[in-house]
């Protein structure tokens, strides 16, 4: 930590190393935090990662067909442009390799601690610091950055008979590459973004494909193509051309956001495109009807694919228009009572999102757990900080998700906020910051007011953006530019500064 004359922290002991910042997670969020910390001159930090390599989403999701659905030139860091993206929507191996390169280029390796799953984050009031217990040891830190991922912990429904299923079972984000699906009877449960990428890839090789669809998704054509050698050359030799391309992609999405957040009615026009897409891919009117959603497009995440419908319409595929209800041996029983015999099940059932898993491991002032604090729904100030949990900064915190643009834009905005908070705190000579109750309440009241007119609230669907109580605690209900403005600087009027209260340790003054 850049030494502040008023700081009185205990010195690190042999047993418990102390750092200025501990970052949890090494996906785009954690790695981005590392880069920005170093650029701010803060080198006293660790990045704690439960796995044995970096990449987060792009390490864990290796299923066939896994790729981004926001163009690569926008779905990458602004400070690390990549002229070599092979496709407009690059695949998982390329995005993972990009994150490995970012790790090397920005000197993050020495900060990384792998196999270090954080099992507890506990605020020590007297010492005004966090105690971090991990599978690889304990650290204390002045501040913690939680970048543990919005879509990192797979969700598999608890279904009667699942434990006794004799065949193979895995989640889309934990693909078993040793299991050969060729010729097998395979069930895919769910029809979200991952399932829509998996289905066209596995349909030609499996014997029989049974897709359990609770609610159909709207699917638009995927305008994916190879990036030509000339374009790559141009972006490498003349970097402003890459920046221009990014700016154009950004601007297009900023214009579109208005339809999602303020004028959902205008999305009807887009719906026509999606209906045309169904007609193009599916000849059977009965199947078309079952694949046509009854809610406004955009209410659930819009999927992009040119191959999804043809795969579902193939002779070896069957769409069951009901959720999977129970299993009897190798027979899968749908909610409509139909029975389906399978050898393997792929769960494309999403992640723990509104019930952020790390919240159960965080204990703030007076030992209150974050999960308890959030029992009526997640909320934070500016998606970043929570009252009662000083010096804890989220990257992709509550209500920072997007329905139509690159999450990297939101991550970078939150990193601006983080760095400004840390430097402000240093300049003030304070030990920690926490939002005032008023500021946090006000922020969320306004946010939920805006949310009420978005397509996510009015579109007539139930989505993973909503928690059990139906509150959307996941998405940001405005443009990414407005979030950037809202997180450019920390407003001290929204915060309480906590001063060090513990007695001064002699050695800390040395
Ligand atoms: C298949 C898929 C496709 C996607 N495509 C897009 C897209 O096209 N565009 C887009 O904008 N977004 C997309 N997303 C969303 C994506 O998750 C974010 O864009 C982004 O990658 C999130 O980065 P992150 O660092 O916040 O989280 P993650 O990438 O999930 O990284 C979190 C890291 O934290 C680690 N971790 C979690 N808990 C602990 C713990 N207790 N202790 C230690 N380590 C821990 C995890 O192992 C992981 O490495 C996609 C998500 C998925 C699943």
Question: Is residue 48 lining ligand 1, measured as CB closer than 6 Å?
Answer: yes
Residues comprising the chain, all counted:
510
Best residue among 57, 224, 246, 396 to mutate for probing ligand 1, ranked by most atoms within 8 Å of CB:
57
- Give strand pairing partners of 123: 130
Cβ(77) to ligand 1 under 6 A? no
Query: With a 6 A CB cut-off, is 30 part of the ligand 1 pocket?
Result: yes
CA of 500 to the centre of ligand 1 (A): 35
Q: What angle, rounded to 10 degrees, do the helices at 92-105 and 28-39 form? A: 20
Say how many Å lie between the CA of residue 407 and the centre of ligand 1: 10
Per DSSP, 378 falls in state: -
Q: What is the CATH number of domain 15-153+352-509?
A: 3.50.50.60
Ligand 1 centroid to Cα of residue 332, in Å, is 31
Task: Indicate whether residue 31 lines ligand 1 (CB < 6 A).
Answer: no
Task: Report residue 423 as tokens.
Answer: 């430097």
Q: At which residue do the structure tokens 């970043």 appear?
A: 384
* Dihedral (CA of 82, 85, 89, 90) sign: negative
Is residue 133 pLDDT above 50, yes or no? Answer: yes
Which value, to the nearest 10 degrees, does the dihedral of the CA atoms of residues 32, 33, 35, 37 take? 160
- Kindly tell me the burial class for residue 105, based on how many C-beta atoms sit within 10 Å of its own C-beta (0-12, 13-18, 19 or more): exposed
Claim: this prediction has a pTM higher than 0.85:
yes
Is 496 near ligand 1, meaning CB less than 6 Å away?
no
pLDDT category at 8 given cuts 50, 70, 90 is very low
Pocket probe mutation, ligand 1, options 22, 26, 27, 134, max atoms within 8 Å of Cβ: 27
pLDDT at 404: 87
**Contact by Cβ (8 Å): 347, 192:** no
pLDDT, tens digit (0-9, with 9 covering 90-100), for 69-99 = 999 999 999 999 999 999 999 999 999 999 9
Separation CA 297–CA 88 (nearest Å): 23
Could you tell me the distance, in angstroms and rounded to a whole number, from the CA of residue 336 to the centre of ligand 1? 34
| DSSP state letter for 109 | G
CB 319 within 8 A of CB 213: yes
Q: What is the DSSP letter of 345?
A: E
Given a cut of 50, whether residue 7 has pLDDT beyond it is no
pLDDT tens readout for residues 290-330: 999 999 999 999 999 999 999 999 999 999 999 999 999 99
Residues in Cβ contact with 31 at an 8 Å cutoff, skipping those fewer than 6 apart:
47, 54, 99, 102, 103, 106, 108
- Tell which atom from ligand 1 comes closest to the C-alpha of 395: 26
Contacts of 151 (CB under 8 A, 6+ apart): 57, 173, 350, 351, 353
Please state the separation of Cα 426 from the chain's center in Å: 30
Q: For residues 232 and 83, what is the distance between their CA atoms, to the nearest angstrom?
A: 5
Answer whether 191 contacts ligand 1 (Cβ < 6 A): no
Question: CA 218: distance to chain centroid?
Answer: 21
From ligand 1's centre to the CA of 151, what distance in Å? 5
Q: How far apart are CA 111 and CA 218, in angstroms?
A: 42
Handedness of CA 306, 307, 308, 309 (dihedral sign): positive
**How sure is the predictor about 500, in pLDDT bands with cuts at 50, 70 and 90?**
confident
- Nearest CA to 219 among 307, 283, 144? 307
Rounded to 5°, the CA angle 61-102-71 comes to: 55
pLDDT at 485 over 60: yes
pLDDT at 193 over 50: yes
Distance of CA 58 from the midpoint of ligand 1 (Å): 7
3-state class of 411 per DSSP? Answer: helix
Cα–Cα nearest to 166, from 375, 332, 36: 332
Mean pLDDT of the chain: 94
Q: Is the pLDDT of residue 1 over 60?
A: no
406 CB within 6 A, ligand 1: yes
Instruction: Give, using CA atoms, the residue closest to atom 38 of ligand 1.
Output: 148
- Sheet of 344-347: strands edge to edge? 168-171, 344-347, 185-189, 208-212, 317-320
Instruction: State the pLDDT at residue 277.
Output: 96
Residue 237 has pLDDT above 60, yes or no: yes
66 lines ligand 1 (CB under 6 A): yes
Number of other CB atoms surrounding residue 315 within 10 Å: 6
CA of 70 to the centre of ligand 1 (A): 15
pLDDT at 403: 85
The percent of residues in the chain predicted with pLDDT above 70, rounded, is: 95
Q: Is the dihedral of CA 480, 481, 482, 484 positive or negative?
A: positive
What's phi and psi for 32, nearest 5 deg? -60, -40
Return the bridge partners of 486, or none: none
| Cα 328 to Cα 461: distance, rounded to the nearest angstrom | 31
In the chain, what is the greatest distance between 2 CA atoms, to the nearest angstrom?
A: 80
Residue 403 DSSP code = S
402 SS3 class: coil
The percentage of residues in the chain with a pLDDT greater than 90, rounded to a whole number, is 94
pLDDT digits (tens, 9 = 90+) for 251-295: 999 999 999 999 999 999 999 999 999 999 999 999 999 999 999
What one-character DSSP code corresponds to residue 366? G
Task: Give 484's pLDDT tier (boundaries 50, 70, 90).
Answer: very high
Which atom of ligand 1 lies nearest, measured to the CA of 70?
Answer: 8
Q: Is the pLDDT of residue 3 over 60?
A: no
Kind and range of the H or E element at 312? helix 308-312
Average pLDDT over every residue of 21-43: 98
- Can you give the pLDDT at residue 15? 81
pLDDT-derived band of residue 443, with 50, 70 and 90 as boundaries?
A: very high
Q: Is 27 in the pocket of ligand 1 (CB under 6 A)?
A: yes
User: 193: CA distance to ligand 1 center in Å?
Assistant: 14
- At 182, the pLDDT band (50, 70, 90 cuts) reads very high
Span 113-131, average pLDDT: 97
Would 15-153+352-509 and 162-223+249-347 be classified into the same CATH topology?
A: yes
Six token digits for residue 76? 């990458």
The atom number, within ligand 1, closest to the CA of 172 reads 1
What is the band of 421 on the pLDDT scale with cuts at 50, 70, 90? very high
Q: Which residues contact 279 (CB under 8 A, 6 or more apart)?
A: 288
Instruction: Determine the distance separating the centroid of ligand 1 and the alpha carbon of 164, expressed in angstroms.
Output: 31
Paired with 381 in beta bridges are 385
- CB of 480 closer than 6 angstroms to any ligand 1 atom: no
How do the domains of the chain map onto residue ranges? 15-153+352-509, 162-223+249-347
Distance 314 CA to ligand 1 centre (A): 33
The CA distance from 500 to 440, in Å, is 23
Report the alpha-carbon distance of residue 360 to residue 363 in Å, rounded. 8
**338-351 b/e (C-beta count within 10 Å ≥ 16 → b):** eebebbbbbbbbbb
How far, in Å, from the CA of 348 to the mean position of ligand 1?
16
Asked whether 17 and 91 are in contact (CB, 8 A), the reply is no
Confidence of residue 502 (pLDDT cuts 50, 70, 90): low
Contact residues for 393 (Cβ-Cβ < 8 A; gap 6+): 143, 144, 145, 146, 384, 385, 414, 417, 418, 421
301: Cβ below 6 Å to ligand 1?
no
Alpha carbon of 25 to ligand 1 centroid (Å): 9
CATH code, residues 162-223+249-347: 3.50.50.60
């Amino acid at each position: 930590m850049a030494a502040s004359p008023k700081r009185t922290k205990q010195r690190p002991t042999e047993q418990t190393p102390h750092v200025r910042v501990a970052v949890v997670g090494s996906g785009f969020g954690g790695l981005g935090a590392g880069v920005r910390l170093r650029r701010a001159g803060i080198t006293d930090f660790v990045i704690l990662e439960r796995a044995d390599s970096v990449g987060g989403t792009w390490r864990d999701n290796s299923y066939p067909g896994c790729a981004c659905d926001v163009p690569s030139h926008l779905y990458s860091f602004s400070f690390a442009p990549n002229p070599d993206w092979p496709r407009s929507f690059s695949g998982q191996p390329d995005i993972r390799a990009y994150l490995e390169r970012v790790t090397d280029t920005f000197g993050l390796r020495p900060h990384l601690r792998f196999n270090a799953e954080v099992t507890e984050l506990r605020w020590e009031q007297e010492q005004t610091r966090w105690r971090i217990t991990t599978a690889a040891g304990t650290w204390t830190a002045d501040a913690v950055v939680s970048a543990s991922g919005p879509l990192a912990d797979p969700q598999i429904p608890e279904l009667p008979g699942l434990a006794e299923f004799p065949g193979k079972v895995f989640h889309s984000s934990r693909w078993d590459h040793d299991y050969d699906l060729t010729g097998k009877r395979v069930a895919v449960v769910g029809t979200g973004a991952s399932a829509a990428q998996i289905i066209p890839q596995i349909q030609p090789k499996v014997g029989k494909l049974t897709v359990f669809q609770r609610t159909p998704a709207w699917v638009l054509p995927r305008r994916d193509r190879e990036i030509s050698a000339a374009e790559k050359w141009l972006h490498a030799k003349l970097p402003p051309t890459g920046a221009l391309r990014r700016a154009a992609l950004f601007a297009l999405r900023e214009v579109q956001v208005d339809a999602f957040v303020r004028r959902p009615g205008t999305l009807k026009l887009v719906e026509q495109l999606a209906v045309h897409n169904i007609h193009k891919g599916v000849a059977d009117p009965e199947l078309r009807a079952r694949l046509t959603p009854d809610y406004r497009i955009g209410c659930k995440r819009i999927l992009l694919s040119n191959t999804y419908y043809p795969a579902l319409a193939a002779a070896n595929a069957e769409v069951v228009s009901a959720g999977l209800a129970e299993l009897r041996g190798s027979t899968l029983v749908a909610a409509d009572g139909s029975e389906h015999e399978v050898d393997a099940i792929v769960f494309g059932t999403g992640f723990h999102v509104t019930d952020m898993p790390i919240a159960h491991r965080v204990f703030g002032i007076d030992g209150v757990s974050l999960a308890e604090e959030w029992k009526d729904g997640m909320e934070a100030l500016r998606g970043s900080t929570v009252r009662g949990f000083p010096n804890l900064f989220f990257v992709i915190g509550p209500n920072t998700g997007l329905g139509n643009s690159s999450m990297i834009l939101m991550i970078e905005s939150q990193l601006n906020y983080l760095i400004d908070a840390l430097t402000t705190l240093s300049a003030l000579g304070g030990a920690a910051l926490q939002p005032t109750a008023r500021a946090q309440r006000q922020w969320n009241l306004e946010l939920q007011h805006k949310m009420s007119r978005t397509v996510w609230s009015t579109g007539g669907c139930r989505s993973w953006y909503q928690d059990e109580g139906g509150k959307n605690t996941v998405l940001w209900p405005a443009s990414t530019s407005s979030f950037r403005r809202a997180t450019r600087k920390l407003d001290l009027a929204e915060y309480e500064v906590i001063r060090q209260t513990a007695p001064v340790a002699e050695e800390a003054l040395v």
